[in-house]
Amino acid sequence: MTRSIRTAAICATAIAALAAGPALAQGKGKAAKARLLDPAVADDALEISKRVQCGEADGKPGVYHWSGKVYSRVAGEPDRLLFKAEGMNIRTCTTVDDPVRGKGWRLVSRELLLYLDPKTGEVVRQWDNPWTGEKLDVLHIANDPVNQSPQFPKSASGTPYSIPTLRREGRWFFMPFEAPLFYTNPLQGEYQDWVGGKYHAMEIFDFAFDAEEMLDTKNPTAYPTVSWVRISDFLPWMKMRGRQGQLVFNAMGNKLKSADELPAVLKAEIAANYPIYVAPPPVDDKRPNETSWTVFKKWVDARKPAK
């Protein structure tokens, strides 16, 4: 997801998680007796979030997959189906201790989204822009890394950790959140507050998971489903030259038991062109997060002829 599941650093804003505490007995290293987590307790809420986000244990990969479509929306014309899409995020978590805020965790990840031909389902290498008539090379989303800040039982101000959007309906938990984005666009100049050019988008995530699987600590993790919507400007590689319009991404997916469950098109593309996506970044990764816009800037700058 572009800043998520792209922004999964997005993901960081609203679905964070932690602590191996409930899973291990202190001191002896033996498995603690299974119990039910209580979402109203800060440590347990943190553990629930960790089960949404992470793999089974520190350093063990977790994989999300999502599948959907990409539409254009331009005033005065019908919406167009531009692409189908297949995406994945591979991540892992590590325990982080803070003397004041307690034992928490940090997530590191990288994510990939492929644009597919809506009729054939094949990976699109070049795209005929229907508005300009140009044939353009396609830059698929390949953001590495997409990491999150550490999450703890207490915030910096001492507020207990909670998941305010979490609600239960029968056997299901639902955890929706919206991430409105409005920040400096790396492709624009330094006067964006005066003349515009800011990156403006919204990402919407809706997680759903089985309450019994999530709350019972006998289960080392949980396997939620997720829906993802992104509304954003046209992508820079589309070379729209400031034309009015937006893109609407709509996808659904889930956390997988392993990367072996990814669809064939993703596994083939990773093997051929994105080999590092078989594993998450190292847990001590200190690199700044990438987005579709920062990756594009490096991509287009590398293609400029030498002066």
Pairwise CA distance, residues 88 & 46, whole Å: 24
Cα distance between residue 239 and residue 3, in whole Å: 20
Report the C-alpha dihedral over residues 255, 291, 95, 51, rounded to 10 degrees. -20
How many CB atoms sit inside 10 A of residue 125's CB?
10
Q: Which amino acid appears at position 184 of this protein? A: T
- Which residues, at least 6 apart from 52, have a Cβ–Cβ distance to it below 8 Å? 15, 17, 175, 207, 209, 222, 224, 255
Strands annotated E in 21-166: 62-73, 80-98, 102-116, 126-128, 135-137, 141-143
pTM: 0.89
Q: Where are the domains of the chain?
A: 10-278
Give 258's contacts (C-beta < 8 A, 6+ positions apart): 61, 63
> pLDDT value at position 31?
55
The predicted pLDDT at position 307 comes to: 75
Closest to 151 (Cα-Cα) out of 189, 96, 198, 202: 96
- Check residue 306 and give its pLDDT: 83
**pLDDT in tens for each of the 307 residues of the chain?**
544 434 444 343 333 333 333 333 333 344 568 899 999 999 999 999 999 999 999 999 999 999 999 999 999 999 999 999 999 999 999 999 999 999 999 999 999 999 999 999 999 999 999 999 999 999 999 999 999 999 999 999 999 999 999 999 999 999 999 999 999 999 999 999 999 999 999 999 999 999 999 999 999 999 999 999 999 999 999 999 999 999 999 999 999 999 999 999 999 999 999 999 999 999 999 999 999 999 999 999 999 988 7
Q: Which amino acid is at 168?
A: R
